[in-house]
Amino acid sequence: MAGLYDNQADMYVEARPTYPIEWYSKLAALTPHHNLAWDVGTGNGQAATGVAEHYKQVIATDVSMAQIERAIPHPRVRYLHTPLTINDNELVSLIGGENSVDLITVATAVHWFDLSRFYSLVSRVLRKPGGVIAVWCYFNMVVSPEFDSLMKNFYDSMLPFWDKEVRSYVIEDYKTLPFPFESVGLGSEGNPHRLDIQKELSFNGILKLFRSFSPVDLAKSQGVDLLPPEVIKGLENAWGGPSTSIRAVTYKAFMLVGKVRP
């Protein structure tokens, strides 16, 4: 995953949807202690700042220094660059030590991780009993039948530039994502919890979102433009009205939440 979003860091901050604040309240209600949270793959920090409203301190980590440098400041969030060269013992110590973390969150990132290594770290640092891990993502959006059809064509064009295993986790709404934790009532391995994210966007905004996708950047680096003028024009026509006109968009999200098994 390292470096995947470095080139698009500014665009990523602008384009990505904001997760509903009630998500953080629900997750906080699941942990008896609210001292320390760890937001992994924090990106621009939007999940970290949401979690910080319920926990005394949030450690927010990312392998991308470009993302960390653009993250949203918050007095209870400590941002840390964690390059892939850091070893597990160093990372555990950096986060707060074994059995220290009340909540671990991973927003739209866990599919890029070395899952075996990450889940081993989770088992070490998560408080037992009482600690909870929550991972979530979104993929499909609903705008209108005409726009959604063209958007699917665009998504299909990304597939050759997207790691096969990673894309299968996302396209399958995390139904195939390994998640070896005991369910706490918000999704379980093979059965993710479904959520909607409502947002109002202009066509310019959704175009920024599309351009922030890592397969689009990878294709561009290989001389392939997945958003040529004719594709943009077709999407804009289907959007209806000028590129600045606002429409309601529904992101289809999915979540898995669990605790370390006894």
* 55-71 confidence digits (pLDDT tens): 999 999 999 999 899 89
Looking at the predicted structure, is the pLDDT value of residue 3 above 50? no
Range of the domain at 121: 9-259
- Is residue 198 assigned to a domain? yes
pTM for the structure as a whole = 0.89
pLDDT digits (tens, 9 = 90+) for 226-256: 999 999 999 999 998 777 889 999 999 999 9
CB burial readout 159-197, b (16+ within 10 A) else e: eebbeeebbebbeebbeebebebeebebbbbeebbebeb
pLDDT value for 42: 96
Please give the Cα distance from 207 to 239 (Å, whole number).
11
Looking at the predicted structure, is the pLDDT value of residue 7 above 70? no
Q: Using alpha carbons, list the distances in angstroms from residue 203 to 60, 183, 206, 232, 252.
A: 31, 39, 5, 10, 18
pLDDT digits (tens, 9 = 90+) for 182-233: 999 999 999 999 999 998 889 998 998 899 888 999 999 999 999 999 999 9
The answer to whether the CB of 254 falls within 8 A of the CB of 136 is yes
What mean pLDDT is reported for the chain? 92
- Is residue 2 assigned to a domain? no
In this structure, what CATH number is given to the domain that contains residue 25? Answer: 3.40.50.150
- Is residue 164 assigned to a domain? yes
Please give the Cα distance from 31 to 47 (Å, whole number).
17
- Is residue 121 assigned to a domain? yes
pLDDT digits (tens, 9 = 90+) for 84-126: 999 999 999 999 999 999 999 999 999 999 999 999 999 999 9
Please give the Cα distance from 203 to 194 (Å, whole number).
26
pLDDT value for 197: 93
Domains: count for the chain: 1
pLDDT value for 18: 86
- Is residue 3 assigned to a domain? no
Query: pLDDT tier at 6 (50, 70, 90 boundaries)?
Result: very low
- Is residue 1 assigned to a domain? no
Q: Which residue has the higher pLDDT, 172 or 9?
A: 172
Q: Which two tokens stand for residue 144?
A: 């209108």
Secondary structure class of 105 (helix, strand, coil): strand
Query: pLDDT tier at 14 (50, 70, 90 boundaries)?
Result: low
- Is residue 237 assigned to a domain? yes
- Is residue 216 assigned to a domain? yes
